Chain A
Amino acid sequence: DSGVTQTPKHLITATGQRVTLRCSPRSGDLSVYWYQQSLDQGLQFLIHYYNGEERAKGNILERFSAQQFPDLHSELNLSSLELGDSALYFCASSVLPGDTQYFGPGTRLTVL
């Protein structure tokens, strides 16, 4: 158990819908990262937040957004969902930016 928690574990929804994925970092970690794992794209970095502020963006679609709250938990919002958004979404956390990242168990999103 890495200490990073993610909810929900599974999410099934329809095209065009909007969902929110939640992540709680390890105690003491200020950085939260989001990654997407899909069969065709592999593991891709989406976005990084540090202490409530966006620090870096990767291959994140405009339909996707994230935020980190004062209690340091983070949410990833996915809207206008398409079939191709079906994937495993991981959250990771670290003490500071660039430190070793510890991953949560992931949220499996299925878009029908």
Chain B
Amino acid sequence: AQSVTQLGSHVSVSEGALVLLRCNYSSSVPPYLFWYVQYPNQGLQLLLKYTTGATLVKGINGFEAEFKKSETSFHLTKPSAHMSDAAEYFCAVNRFGNEKLTFGTGTRLTIIP
């Protein structure tokens, strides 16, 4: 079985500050890990993914995430927050051969001007 825990249902940061959204996973086999973003009244957009290889993954809009097996974490970061980053962010996990994505409960990111 696999699961995802996102710490902090709401995160607020000032414009220009570091964004850090936390995700921890549990999986009995090597996981594939994803971050999706959902803007208000829109669908889910893929930000980045980790399958194999380099553990630091760069995504769109300046976001990146690092897979840390020893910590079972896949935290999402962005050096400098922009107003347009305000959205809900979902961490998700699956594994090779498993079709379904298991999502975390989401983190709503608010940017303070």
Q: Could you tell me which A residues sit within 8 Å of B by CB distance?
A: 2, 4, 31, 33, 35, 42-43, 45, 48, 50, 55-56, 58, 90, 92, 97-98, 100-106
User: Which residues from A are CB-within-8-Å of B34?
Assistant: 100
Cβ of A50: which chain B residues have Cβ within 8 Å of it? 99
Query: What is the interface of chain A mostly: helix, strand, loop, or mixed?
Result: strand
> In the bound complex, how far is the Cα of B101 from the Cα of A45, in angstroms?
7
C-alpha gap A58/B44 in the complex (Å): 19
Residues on A with C-beta less than 8 A from B96 are 98
For residue B97, which residue of chain A has the nearest CB?
A98
> Does residue B90 face the partner (Cβ distance < 8 Å to A)?
yes
Is the CB of B42 closer than 8 A to any CB of chain A?
A: yes
Give A72 to B90 CA distance when docked, in angstroms. 27
User: Are B99's CB and A42's CB within 8 A?
Assistant: no
Question: Is the C-beta of B102 less than 8 angstroms from some C-beta in chain A?
Answer: yes
Contacts of B103 in A (CB 8 A): 42-43
Asked if B45 and A98 make an inter-chain contact with CB atoms under 8 angstroms apart, the answer reads no
